[in-house]
Amino acid sequence: MTDPASELFGAVSQAYAAHRPTYPDHFFTAFAERCPSHQRVWDCGCGSGQASLTLAQHFDQVLATDASGAQLEQAQPHPRITYRQASAWASGLEAASVDGVLVAAAVHWFAGDAFNTEVRRVAKAGAVMAWIGYLPLQLTSEVLQTCLNGFYATTLEPWWPNERRWVDQRYAGLPFPGEEWPFPQDLWIERQWTLDDLAGYLGTWSAVETARRAGVDPLPELVDTMRALWPGHGRQRLLARWPFMGRWGVITR
């Protein structure tokens, strides 16, 4: 079994580490409070460790795995984090060894029976699972948002992988290995970004990378269009907001 995201995001690993947003601290606190203890947590599909670093503030040991070695090379070292190249279906972790399993912006690539079997194998009794992510970003400028919406839904439509639909659906429909709780509402990820910041982030999208591999780069035209509309010709920082979303609950056998 292969992880289709490994090669795709490995190719943009440096940009991913530099431009992908982190997640609300409040959620990590709530996640840790619901785990049976704070000894060990598995960050599955950790990428370059955006969530791992925050988990390390709450757990004694973070076991962070990703199928992409290139992504892991960009991860920031931390005394409480052990990074390991491994698939979601074969983590190499000991049975009944983790208090929680977190997947940040990645579960749509590998969710299913094989992953759930691995989760149940490594989870302690009462361990908590959380899948977190974010919906498409929102800008404060209506005209700029219109450009971005068209890029996402129309320009990139031929290049988005099938798995993307799960993100748009807030992971609804994917099999969850436990008893779910209501997910926290009204949490946002916020950044103050220039146009170059935004372009760096958009360059990490899977659809952009897939288009580039096919010999098409749709990003420069969008950036040129937005630069003419962006305050300060792209240099002024604007508020970018992502609706934070996900699913969570206690893992059951």
Give the model's pLDDT for residue 5.
54
- The alpha helices in the chain, defined as continuous H runs, are 5-10, 13-19, 25-34, 50-55, 69-73, 113-122, 142-150, 164-168, 195-202, 206-213, 219-229
Among candidate residues 134, 112, 94, 108, the one with its CA nearest the CA of residue 8? 108
* C-alpha to C-alpha distance for 83 and 66, rounded to whole angstroms: 8
Among candidate residues 64, 73, 125, the one with its CA nearest the CA of residue 97? 125
Give the model's pLDDT for residue 250.
98
Give the other-Cβ count within 10 Å of 64's Cβ.
27
Interval 3-53: pLDDT, tens: 555 454 444 657 766 788 899 999 999 999 999 999 999 999 999 999 999
Average pLDDT, the chain: 94
Q: How many CA atoms does the CB half-sphere of 231 hold within 13 Å? A: 10
Residues 250, 127 contacting (CB under 8 angstroms): yes
pTM of the model: 0.91
| Two structure tokens written together for 147 | 């450009």
Instruction: Provide the percentage of residues in the chain whose pLDDT is more than 70.
Output: 94
Give the model's pLDDT for residue 4.
56
Helix (H) or strand (E) run with residue 130 in it: strand 123-134
Give the model's pLDDT for residue 253.
85
Among candidate residues 170, 173, 153, 157, the one with its CA nearest the CA of residue 242? 170
Give the model's pLDDT for residue 201.
95
Least confident among 1-5, 81-85, 225-229: 1-5
Mean pLDDT of 110-115: 97
Give the model's pLDDT for residue 21.
86
Using alpha carbons, list the distances in angstroms from residue 195 to 23, 161, 192, 234. 21, 26, 10, 5
* C-alpha to C-alpha distance for 137 and 135, rounded to whole angstroms: 6
Give the model's pLDDT for residue 1.
55
DSSP character string of 131-153: EEEEPPPEES-HHHHHHHHHIII
Give the model's pLDDT for residue 14.
74
| Two structure tokens written together for 100 | 């929680």
Tell me the pLDDT band of 202, cut-offs 50, 70 and 90: very high
Give the other-Cβ count within 10 Å of 167's Cβ.
17
Interval 157-183: pLDDT, tens: 999 999 999 999 999 999 999 999 999
